[in-house]
Amino acid sequence: MEDCVGIKYSSVNEGEKRKGGHGVPKVSIIPLIFLIFYEVSGGPFGIEDSVKAAGPLLAIAGFLLFALIWSVPEALITAEMGTMFPENGGYVVWVSSALGPFWGFQQGWAKWLSGVIDNALYPVLFLDYVKSSIPALGGGLPRTLAVLILTVALTYMNYRGLTIVGWVAVFLGVFSLLPFFVMGLIAIPRIEPSRWLEMDLGNVNWGLYLNTLFWNLNYWDSISTLAGEVENPKRTLPRALSYALVLVVGGYLYPLITCTAAVPVVREFWTDGYFSDVARILGGFWLHSWLQAAAALSNMGNFVTEMSSDSYQLLGMAERGMLPEFFAKRSRYGTPLIGIMFSAFGVVLLSWMSFQEIIAAENYLYCFGMILEFIAFIKLRVVHPNASRPYKIPLGTIGAVLMIIPPTILIVVVMMLASFKVMVVSIMAMLVGFVLQPALVYVEKRRWLKFSISAELPDLPYSNVEEDSTIPLVC
């Protein structure tokens, strides 16, 4: 088969128009940076468990090392593949183009479940931060009602439009990082560098340590599901990813370095929400209150951006004919109405899980999806080396393979460290996807539901054909 020189997205988001085909303004670079920031991080809230699990030295070293071996490769792959396929659906489209519709659907199923599980975490984390001020929110009916009210309010924000979500993310990002910057300045006179070196290799909770680092440094690819809503994604997406990488890693290391050296480290105290206690020790009640407010708003930012990614992924899958056509229905604000409703329902359903259970379950499903992404990335490099890549990682095929070896090893380690309960539940969830895709194909053949592929999108290698087909990319 002759290599193609490009995939033409002639009618999909070329950047000259600041509004899409639905009359909705496109997302520009500054909101995009903060959307990525919230997809991945949202600030240092939730990194405290890394200190509890392994102590200051391994926590600081871990965030540096994981950023190099995981975040950088994932961000680079997202930049290359996201500009190669600048449409909603993101990684689902990448895997479908390389491995066919069955595996593309499995990618979408695993990543959507992982995203919804991740989103269920943020009301939990929010309530963990404020329960010290409002003890009634620590459990029972008040906590359940609080989760429902938060979910409804933030879901409505997603309904009103991605542009609103993007600029809200900018405001929330600045507000959430400011108290950590101030706390770090206050901490400087009290820093004792010897505290950074505290380490006890015989008393490390490796499972908690790796899951905390992994959770805080992944999801760089989630922004790809919004690529169809981005202004000039072929130029904007790589730049936004690079700026967001600096913002995320710096946002973790600065408070870790300053706070672990400014106060005596009692590892048992370092659980999610402990930064607010450190703020009270260093600055008093005013800084403690500011940090709690920042934590609350940060979790809102995490929630709305994750829901945007999850819901636009479902819309993109529907536009590719993988889901019934009604998933592509947009509200009058241009947002994926059905996708938002499905994602919100999933969040409410899973919000009963504990913080550690949520992290472990979503990491396992996320790892499965990342394996498919890595395979698709390498296969497209090998089979279609001359396909249009507005941004291309400056490595040949061998270099690309070597780049993904460390993160692949990390994936295997994270999956092996999962508890038996998490492993069984995650595998059962993936098996549901193996049954669901053929079932949807059967439903389509019987015409019980309507499926269609958007006329604006170019064909993929396996579109509308059996998986052994050799139809090339559209040139």
Distances (CA, A) of 19 to 25, 320, 339: 4, 21, 21
Three-class DSSP category at 25: strand
Q: Quick check: 355 pLDDT over 70?
A: no
What is the per-residue pLDDT for 462? Answer: 54
Compute the average pLDDT of residues 448-466: 74
More confident residue, 296 or 402: 402
Which CATH code is given to the segment(s) 31-446? 1.20.1740.10
Compute the average pLDDT of residues 404-411: 93
Q: Quick check: 140 pLDDT over 80?
A: no
What is the per-residue pLDDT for 424? Answer: 85
Contacts of 212 (CB under 8 A, 6+ apart): 46, 47, 49, 50, 53, 359
Contact (CB, 8 A) for 172 and 300: yes
State how far the Cα of 303 lies from the Cα of 314, in Å rounded to an integer.
17
Q: Quick check: 336 pLDDT over 50?
A: yes
More confident residue, 5 or 44: 44
State how far the Cα of 191 lies from the Cα of 261, in Å rounded to an integer.
5
pLDDT band at 8 (very low <50, low <70, confident <90, very high): low
Least confident of 104-108, 350-354, 364-368: 350-354
Three-class DSSP category at 156: helix
What is the per-residue pLDDT for 95? Answer: 96
Q: Quick check: 473 pLDDT over 50?
A: no
Distances (CA, A) of 188 to 257, 332, 441: 10, 51, 61
Compute the average pLDDT of residues 322-348: 90
What is the per-residue pLDDT for 438? Answer: 96
Contact (CB, 8 A) for 356 and 208: yes
Give which of 6, 467, 25, 461 is closest to 234, Cα–Cα. 6
Residues 251-278: tens digit of each pLDDT: 999 999 999 999 999 999 998 779 989 9
State how far the Cα of 365 lies from the Cα of 429, in Å rounded to an integer.
9
Query: Mean pLDDT in the chain?
Result: 86
Q: Quick check: 467 pLDDT over 50?
A: no
pLDDT band at 103 (very low <50, low <70, confident <90, very high): very high
Q: Which amino acid is located at 44 in the chain?
A: P
Distances (CA, A) of 169 to 27, 106, 236, 267, 304: 12, 30, 17, 32, 9
- Report phi then psi at 27, rounded to 5: -85, 125
Q: Is 47 exposed, middle or buried (0-12, 13-18, 19+ CB in 10 A)?
A: buried
What is the per-residue pLDDT for 469? Answer: 36
What is the per-residue pLDDT for 466? Answer: 40
Residues 279-312: tens digit of each pLDDT: 999 999 999 989 988 988 888 888 899 999 999 9
- For residue 145, the cross-strand partners are none
What is the per-residue pLDDT for 360? Answer: 67
pLDDT band at 472 (very low <50, low <70, confident <90, very high): very low
Q: Quick check: 27 pLDDT over 70?
A: yes
Contact (CB, 8 A) for 18 and 236: no
- What is the three-state SS of 322-372? CCCHHHHCECCCCCEHHHHHHHHHHHHHHCCCCHHHHHHHHHHHHHHHHHH
What is the per-residue pLDDT for 239? Answer: 96
What is the per-residue pLDDT for 14? Answer: 47
